[in-house]
Every structure is written in C-alpha cells, then in structure tokens.
Structure 1
Amino acid sequence: MVAGRDTRRWRKLKVQFRARSAEANHPCWLCGQPIDYDLPRDHPEAFQPDHLHPVSTHPEHAEDPANLRPSHATCNKARGNRAPLFGLGRQTRQW
C-alpha cells in the first residue's frame, strides 16, 4: 500500500477535493489552463489531484488536504516528483 493513494481516507479526500475544485472552476495549477471536470478520468486532460509536496519525498503530507492542487493528468505525470516549473506566462501585445 502506498500512502495517500490507496486508503479509504484518500479516496474520500480526492472526491471532496474534486468537488470543491470543480465548483470553484479552478484551473490547472501547473499550466494555468482550464480543467474540464466532466472528462473521464482516463482522458489525458482530465482532473487529477496533485500533491504540492510529492508523496515520494513527503509521505507525511500524503493525505493532507492543504497539500493538494488541481491539475491535468498530463501535467501531473510530466511533473512527477520534481519541483514545478512555472513559465513566465504568455506575452501580450501590450508588453
């Protein structure tokens, strides 16, 4: 069993976090793009909770709701357990 990924508490927390994120229409914290919360979970752009502090390096935060961030499945997988890389954003014509 992996902490934070295979417990009853984790499954309940994940459902609650998804509901709160969808209600607030939170974008992906990694890329800043909108998340379609209605996509099936096996879709690459589907919602997936991401741990700010990865479970592999911080198992004590595995089931801490404050450690969760909304993300796309592809963004979450691409990040892995590395620190997030935030871009500077998109250039605008005014810039």
Structure 2
Amino acid sequence: MGRTGGRRYRTNRARVLQGATVCYLCGQPIDQSIPAPDPMSPSAHHFVAYAAGGGDEVANLRPTHLLCNQKQGDKPTRVVNRNSREWT
C-alpha cells in the first residue's frame, strides 16, 4: 500500500474534500461528482510533501484536482492562482 493508502490519509482526505469547490493549485472549480482516476477528479495535495517531513494531518492537506496533484508531485508547493477567500 502506498503512503496515501493509509486510513488516516483517507479519513483526512474526505474531510478536506468535503465541500471543496476550488483547486488549491490551479484555482479552477472541482467537480465532486467526477470519479477517480479521471484527471479532474478531486484529490488531496500534501502542502508539505512526505519527502520534506509532511504528514497526513488535515492542516497539511489541500483540495486539488488529481492531475494538478500529480503534476505538483513532491516539489515545494507553489500556488499559481488562488481564487478562494478561505485561503487568504
């Protein structure tokens, strides 16, 4: 099982995605009805990557599209376009 397959991650991922409407990385809408593995399906990005010491806490997860999350990988998080007031 991968690092994102653990129970803690899955539980906290569900919390982060609940009601999420905007991708933290690209600023575009997230459609909660799109199932994985579609590139535009909802995903939870680790703001501080595992490689940099981050974990699965809710405070370290951000709502994203699966594709945006995959493109970001474990590079330091750089937000291109924030459109949500909840992150300001």
Per-residue deviation, 1:85: 3.5
Matched letter for residue 7 of structure 2 = R
Q: Alpha carbon RMSD of aligned pairs, Å? A: 2.1
Match of 2:69 in 1: 76
SS at match of 1:56: helix
Match of 1:66 in 2: 59
Structure 1 runs (4+) deviating above 6 angstroms are none
Per-residue deviation, 1:57: 1.8
Task: Encode CA deviations 1:17-71: one digit per residue, 9 max, x unaligned.
Answer: 22242xxx2x11111111111100111011100010001221xx31211011111
SS at match of 1:17: helix
TM-score (norm 1): 0.72
Q: Which structure would you say has the larger RCO, counting Cα contacts within 8 Å and 6 or more residues apart?
A: 2
Match of 1:34 in 2: 29
TM-score (norm 2): 0.77
CA–CA distance in structure 2, aligned partners of residues 50 and 72 of structure 1: 9
CA–CA distance in structure 2, aligned partners of residues 2 and 34 of structure 1: 27
Aligned residues: 82
Change (3 A) 1:84 1:16: closer
Percent of matched pairs sharing the same residue? 29
Which structure has the larger Rg over C-alpha atoms? Answer: 1
CA–CA distance in structure 1, aligned partners of residues 33 and 81 of structure 2: 29
Unaligned runs of 5+ in 2: 83-88
